[in-house]
Amino acid sequence: MCGVVGYIGKNKALPVLLDGLSKLEYRGYDSAGIALVNDELFIKKKKGRLEVLKNDLNVDDFEQNIGIGHTRWATHGAPTEINAHPHFDNKNSIAVIHNGIIENYIKIKEWLTEVDGTNFVSETDTEVIAHLISYFYDGDLLDAVYKAVDRMEGAYAISVICKDEPDKIVAVRKDSPLIIGIGDGENFLASDIPALLKYTKKVLFVENDEFVVIKKDGVTLLDEFKQKVERELFTVTWDEKSAEKEGFPHFTLKEIHEQPKTFREILNRRIKDDIVLEGLNIPYEKFKQFNKVYIVACGTAYHAGLVGKYVIEKFASIPVEVDIASEFRYRNPFIDEKTLFIAVSQSGETLDTLQSLREAKKKKATILSVVNVVGSSVARESDGVLYTWAGPEIGVASTKAYTSQVLIFYLFALKLALETKKITKENFDSILKELYNYPDYIETILKQSTKIQEFADSQFNNDSVFFMGRGVDLYCAYEASLKFKEISYINSFAIAAGELKHGTIALIEKDTLVIAFATQKRLYDKMLSNIKEVTSRGAYVVCIAKEGDTDVLKVADEVIFVPDSDEDLLPLMNVIPMQLFAYYVSVARGNDVDKPRNLAKSVTVE
Ligand code: F6R
pLDDT tens column, 548-557: 999 999 999 9
Known catalytic residue at 476: no
| Alpha carbon nearest to ligand 1 atom 10, residue | 300
Lowest mean pLDDT segment, chosen from 60-69, 276-285, 372-381, 596-605: 596-605
d(CA 280, CA 412): 9
CA torsion sign, 469 to 470 to 473 to 474?
A: positive
Element (H, E) at 187: strand 186-190
pLDDT digits (tens, 9 = 90+) for 108-129: 999 999 999 999 999 999 999 9
- What are the DSSP calls for 238-279, one per residue? --GGGGS-TT-SSHHHHHHHTHHHHHHHHHHHHEESEE--TT
- By DSSP bridging, strand 366-371 and strand 384-387 are parallel
Pocket test for ligand 1, best of 322, 346, 575, 586 (most atoms within 8 A of CB): 346
Ligand 1 neighbours, Cβ below 6 Å, are 298-301, 345-347, 350, 353, 397-398, 482, 486, 602-603
pLDDT of residue 444: 98
> 20 CB contacts (<8 Å, ≥6 apart)?
5, 7, 69, 188, 190, 195, 196
CA torsion sign, 235 to 382 to 398 to 552?
A: positive
d(CA 388, CA 384): 13
pLDDT digits (tens, 9 = 90+) for 297-356: 999 999 999 999 999 999 999 999 999 999 998 888 899 999 999 999 999 999 999 999
Question: Is the predicted pLDDT of residue 26 greater than 90, yes or no?
Answer: no
**Exposed, middle or buried, 137 (CB in 10 Å: 0-12/13-18/19+)?**
buried
d(CA 218, CA 561): 57
Q: Which atom of ligand 1 is found nearest the CA of 299?
A: 9
| Alpha carbon nearest to ligand 1 atom 8, residue | 398
What's the angle, vertex CA 365, arms to CA 359 and CA 366, rounded to 5? 120
Pocket test for ligand 1, best of 193, 347, 353 (most atoms within 8 A of CB): 347
pLDDT digits (tens, 9 = 90+) for 402-449: 999 999 999 999 999 999 999 999 999 999 999 999 999 999 999 999
Alpha-carbon torsion angle 524, 525, 528, 532, nearest 10 = -160
Name the DSSP letter for residue 598: T
One-letter amino acid for residue 317 of the chain: S
Q: Which of 47, 415, 546, 601 is catalytic?
A: 601
pLDDT digits (tens, 9 = 90+) for 158-195: 999 999 999 999 999 998 889 999 999 999 999 988 89
pLDDT of residue 593: 96
- By DSSP bridging, strand 66-72 and strand 87-88 are unpaired
pLDDT of residue 74: 81
Q: Which atom of ligand 1 is found nearest the CA of 399?
A: 7
pLDDT digits (tens, 9 = 90+) for 476-497: 999 999 999 999 999 999 999 9
pLDDT of residue 59: 92
Tell me the CA–centroid distance for residue 251 and ligand 1, in Å.
16
**Residue 184 CA, distance from chain mean position:** 31
**For range 206-220, the mean pLDDT:** 96
CB distance 49 to 92 below 8 Å: no
pLDDT of residue 327: 95
d(CA 156, CA 176): 5
pLDDT of residue 331: 87
What angle, rounded to 10 degrees, do the helices at 299-311 and 400-419 form? Answer: 30
pLDDT of residue 244: 82
Helices (H), 251-399: 251-257, 259-270, 284-287, 299-311, 325-328, 351-362, 377-380
* Cβ neighbours around 530 below 10 Å, total: 27
d(CA 581, CA 576): 9
β-partners of residue 491 are: 464
CB distance 519 to 546 below 8 Å: yes
| Alpha carbon nearest to ligand 1 atom 6, residue | 298
Q: Provide the pLDDT confidence category of residue 38 given band limits of 50, 70 and 90.
A: very high
Known catalytic residue at 298: no
Question: Is the predicted pLDDT of residue 242 greater than 80, yes or no?
Answer: no
Q: What mean pLDDT value characterizes the chain? A: 95
Tell me the CA–centroid distance for residue 501 and ligand 1, in Å.
31
Q: Which atom of ligand 1 is found nearest the CA of 396?
A: 8
pLDDT digits (tens, 9 = 90+) for 382-414: 999 999 999 999 999 999 999 999 999 999 999
pLDDT digits (tens, 9 = 90+) for 489-540: 999 999 999 999 999 999 999 999 999 999 999 999 999 999 999 999 999 9
The torsion angles phi and psi of 225, rounded to 5 degrees, stand at: -100, 15
Tell me the CA–centroid distance for residue 305 and ligand 1, in Å.
12
